[in-house]
Amino acid sequence: MPNLNDFFPLRNTIQKITPDDHKQHMHYLEAVKAFSRITYKSIYVIDYQKKQFEFVSENPSFLGEHSAEMIKEMGYAFYFKYVPPRDLELLARIHVAGFDFYEQVPEEERKQYTISYDFHINNMRGKPLLIHQKVTPLFLTSQGKIWKSVCVVSLSSEKEPGNVKIVKEGDTRIYNYDLPGNFWKANDLKKLNDRERHIVLLSAKGYTINQIAEFLFLSPETIKFHRKKLFEKLKVTNISEAIIHVTNNKLI
């Protein structure tokens, strides 16, 4: 079974926070709290020096319906209690692989990368909920170690846990982690054509197939054809999953 140290590898152990380190994050939590008030997603901040959660948003609906106060108080013990054993082992592997990846990235670029993955959390009734989590560094120490990261949690559009990816801001590549082979592989991000992009955007606004057809001066049958091709490309089964997938993977 994983233990707490699996989530806080030695390579990123922070012994001391310098005065210069502290200067960079004065009052930053006010911005995080403001953001959490205008999104339906769950937000929390990890402090890798203290090995605990510094902030958990009051809308933790995607953290298994558990209260923000309880999650913050429990810290990583929350995962050990509410993440199924198989997924807990997966999380430990992801943390090791993620920190290995960041070790190869120049220090000045580390905050440009975001890692995402899917895993189950049991809700208060013991029912597993598959969630999608994105984590990106907020602050580094003067030695380049990741001090604090912000995490955004939403429902997953996938069918199984895993799906570990890293993307860099402004880059057209995506780094997928091969779990059986234990290595990272760079691939080009999937791109939507203009028609697929319009269908996703209009669907997200609540437009029906007929309304989309009217807006794009096409027939409903043509819209259905392009939706089917879109679902095949994204490996999803409906437009709701397509919207979540496109949003989570920054395809528009």
Arch. (CATH architecture) of 194-248: Orthogonal Bundle (1.10)
Query: Which H or E element spans position 79?
Result: helix 77-82
Residue 137, pLDDT score: 95
User: What are the tens digits of pLDDT across the range 191-243?
Assistant: 889 999 999 999 999 999 999 999 999 999 999 999 999 988 887 778 887 88
Taking the C-alpha atoms of residue 78 and residue 110, their distance in angstroms, rounded to an integer, is 27
Q: How confident is the model at residue 130 (pLDDT cuts 50, 70, 90)?
A: very high
Residue 181, pLDDT score: 94
Neighbouring residues of 217: CB distance < 8 A, sequence distance ≥ 6? none
Token pair for 219: 């027939």
User: What are the tens digits of pLDDT across the range 102-114?
Assistant: 999 999 999 999 9
Domain boundaries, the chain: 4-188, 194-248
Across the chain, the runs of DSSP E, i.e. the strands, are 42-47, 52-56, 113-122, 128-140, 146-155, 162-168, 173-178, 183-188
Residue 24, pLDDT score: 75
DSSP letter assigned to residue 205? T
Nearest to 164 by CA among 238, 227, 226, 99: 99
CB 168 within 8 A of CB 115: no
Q: What is the pTM of this model?
A: 0.79
pLDDT score of 166 more than 90:
yes
The β-bridge relationship of strands 183-188 and 42-47 is unpaired
Which is the CATH superfamily of the domain at 4-188?
A: PAS domain (3.30.450.20)
Residue 248, pLDDT score: 67
User: What are the tens digits of pLDDT across the range 40-59?
Assistant: 889 999 999 999 999 999 87
Burial class (CB in 10 A: 0-12, 13-18, 19+), 124: exposed
- Paired with 148 in beta bridges are 47, 139
Q: How many CB atoms lie within 10 A of CB 136?
A: 19
DSSP letter assigned to residue 23? H
Of 91-100, 163-172, 174-183, the range with the lowest mean pLDDT is 163-172
Residue 172, pLDDT score: 76
